[in-house]
Amino acid sequence: MKRMNVLWIVGGVLVAAVLIGIAAPLTVRAQAPVKPKRSAATRTPAAVAERPPRDVTLTGKVVSIHAYMTGSADEESPRAVADGLRAGGAAALETETGLVVLGQGNTGGLRVLLKLANEQVEAKGRLYEKGGVKFLDFDTIQAAAEEEEETEEEDAEQGDE
């Protein structure tokens, strides 16, 4: 009887060892956490430099960031820009030096931006720069003054009278 018990115990241990040996490769082993790779923007000190906010006046064209970045065919259409903004897309000011994201602050700016979609504007507000991104929280935004050429034409017309 003792011998039979020993055989059962040995057999049970062998079966358990086989089951563990089969199940072990099927289990997920814990991996060490992988450190995220740092992008060029986070490695470059100039790109992550944060400038103190300052009051500025910028001129440029009101665009939908989505249409601008994806190069959609209708990015030049004021209606397409306005539709993108109405749908919740972010607005930006396309300036000579690049894009500046437009914040609407407490001014209820979306209504104003819809009227000025794809137009040249002059925006006054506080400019924030952080991590290479420029953000203008505008106080006022209005259609940009006409170019000097039109003023010269008006002067010429007045001179003819």
More confident call, 67 vs 149: 67
pLDDT recorded at residue 58: 93
Domain residue ranges of the chain, discontinuous segments joined by +? 47-144
| CATH topology (fold) of 47-144 | OB fold (Dihydrolipoamide Acetyltransferase, E2P) (2.40.50)
What contacts 111, CB < 8 A, 6 or more positions away?
A: none
Question: Can you tell me the distance from the alpha carbon of 149 to that of 87, in angstroms, rounded to the nearest whole number?
Answer: 37
Q: Residue 104 — very low, low, confident or very high, per pLDDT cuts 50/70/90? A: confident
> Among residues 134, 132, 142, 78, which one has the least CA distance to residue 109?
142
Alpha-carbon Rg of the chain, whole angstroms?
Answer: 33
pLDDT computed for residue 32 by the predictor: 61
3-state class (DSSP) for residue 140: strand
What does the pLDDT read at residue 45?
54
Average pLDDT on 95-122 reads: 84
pLDDT mean across residues, the chain: 74
The two structure tokens encoding residue 70: 């994806």
Confidence at residue 37, expressed as pLDDT on a 0 to 100 scale: 63
* β strands within 13-104, DSSP E: 51-64, 91-95, 98-103
Question: Can you give the pLDDT at residue 100?
Answer: 92
Strands 98-103 and 120-130: what pairing? unpaired
**CA-based nearest residue to 94, from 122, 142, 62, 70:** 62
The answer to whether residue 155 scores a pLDDT higher than 90 is no
Instruction: Considering only residues 124 and 5, tell me which one the structure prediction assigns the higher pLDDT.
Output: 124
Which of the residue ranges 24-28, 34-38, 115-119, 124-128 has the most confident prediction, judged by mean pLDDT?
Answer: 124-128
Instruction: State mean pLDDT over 114-133.
Output: 90
Could you report the per-residue pLDDT of 14-68, keeping only the tens digit for each? 666 665 666 555 555 556 666 666 555 555 555 456 889 999 999 999 888 888 8
What pLDDT is stored for residue 151 in this prediction?
Answer: 45
Nearest to 120 by CA among 75, 63, 78, 60: 60
